[in-house]
Amino acid sequence: MRQSKRMRSRSPGLWQNEYSWEERVDGRKRRRRDSHSSERENKSRRQHSHYRPYDGRSHRRRKRSRSVEDDGEGHLIYHIGDMLRARYEIMSTLGEGAFGKVVECIDHNNGGPRMALKIIKNIDRYREAALSEVEVLEQMNSLDYDRKYPCVRMLDWFDYHGHVCIAFELLGLSTYDFLKENNFQPFPIENIQHMAYSIVRACRFLHKNKLTHTDLKPENILFIDSQYDIEYSPILRRDQRTLKNPEVKVVDFGNATYEHEHHTSVVSTRHYRAPEVILDLGWDHSCDVWSIGCILVEYYLGTTLFQTHDSKEHLAMMERILGPIPTNLLQKTRKRRYVHRYKLDWDGNSSSGRFVKKSCKPLKEYMMCQSEDHQNFFDMVEKMMAYDPAKRLTLEQAMRHPFLAGLHKTNSSRNHHRSSSNHNNSSSSRSSRGSKF
């Protein structure tokens, strides 16, 4: 798994017997300030005087060998060529985040394959979060033993002198990094269709197994292979990258939450946060669907749809793009400072109001083409971003929406053919064995 800079299937009833296991995960949920923040949001925070970066004193670290050192932020100090557990040879740094760093390694125990190793900071809150993620990943591996779903695969994990290290399959760039390196040029609608199908399949798998990801964003969606061709665009008058393979996988399950677990009031990175979260109305699986809608529009435009760091301004942008927030939601909110007479308390003539009016427009006005694919895309996104979670498109419904239905039908036929072939091979094998007796 490359990190950005900035589960065989069971019947639901069987999950009821696993709550004791899940409750242990619940006890390990972290409470860190940046857990639902991207670097895009954190950079803005640091500009304010109330933001205090980590000073190395407020969190405990484990005692360790003197030969292993950390830097001032709790990162493991390593060098290219270093060996961890006499097995994993560090080849390069792939990325860095609030949690720690991701490095590319060679696994010398399995014939030398390349893989990604997530090295968590030697700080209690990050270590507890990583252990929670490990347990979720182990359960996902057991539920998806034949690797049908596009979720990143954990290969191994271990504790290295206080640093939880998680080994993953090696993937390509995050979709955010690809956008960034391509000068934020939008993805073609054909690519978005394949990317959307993979994201929806991955998250539908989570939802069927009582998990909500809660932190979907372009940084947490990685290409399986981000190789590309370079083509000259006469319209842009510059070279443009064209993906060879648009298939993606969903990563980062450190914030994944089971239905029965405590639901923290705030989830998701700001730009992909659903209105019910901002209004403190409680949330469920549908908050992931909202996030997916925001992500897909970002792929289509090349830029973030809701470019703000203020909750009230965020709600005002939603109203500008999606229409008025329903009165029944505003009546129920605990955030009374956002509401006046059951309407959003917002001055459209203020400087912020003028900014929102200038930078946002009704959703379908962003449509670049009136072709059927584009119209189906905006219809699906609009339904994914319904204000009322009860009326929002489910991922099961999304799979059958005209924008994804073609891919879903093709994939279902392929899986049915593969399943039939496996069944026939198994029957032939049994017949062969029977003829020997």
Binding-site positions for ATP: 118
Note the helical H segments in 182-336. Answer: 189-208, 275-278, 286-301, 311-322, 327-332
Q: How far apart are CA 324 and CA 194, in angstroms?
A: 32
**Long-range contacts of the stretch 303-311 (C-beta < 8 A, 24+):** 303/184, 304/40, 304/271, 305/271, 306/270, 306/271, 307/271, 307/359, 308/270, 308/271, 309/41, 309/44, 309/45, 309/270, 310/352, 311/278, 311/335, 311/338
Q: How far apart are CA 246 and CA 241, in angstroms?
A: 12
What is the per-residue DSSP string for 271-303?
GG--HHHHTT----THHHHHHHHHHHHHHHHSS
Burial string for 52-68 (b: 16+ CB within 10 Å, else e) reads eeeeeeebebeeeeeee
Q: What is the length of the chain?
A: 437
Catalytic residue among 70, 144, 177, 215: 215
How far lies 374's CA from each of 241, 381, 400, 402, in Å?
21, 11, 16, 11
Give the H or E element holding residue 398.
helix 395-399
How many alpha carbons lie under 13 Å from residue 274 in its C-beta half-sphere? 30
List residues forming the annotated binding site: 118
Angle at the Cα of 359 from the Cα atoms of 337 and 300, rounded to 5 degrees = 110
The SS3 call for residue 343 is strand
**Residue 158: strand pairing partners:** 165
Cβ partners under 8 Å of residue 378, min gap 6: 363, 364, 366, 367
Phi/psi for 35 (5° steps) reads: -65, -30
Active-site residue, 159 included: no
Torsion of CA 41, 47, 48, 53, to 10 degrees: 80
Q: Check: CB of residue 417 under 8 Å from CB of residue 322.
A: no
Q: Which two tokens stand for residue 71?
A: 């830097």
Residue type at position 263: H
Neighbours of 196 (CB within 10 A): 26
Residues designated catalytic = 215
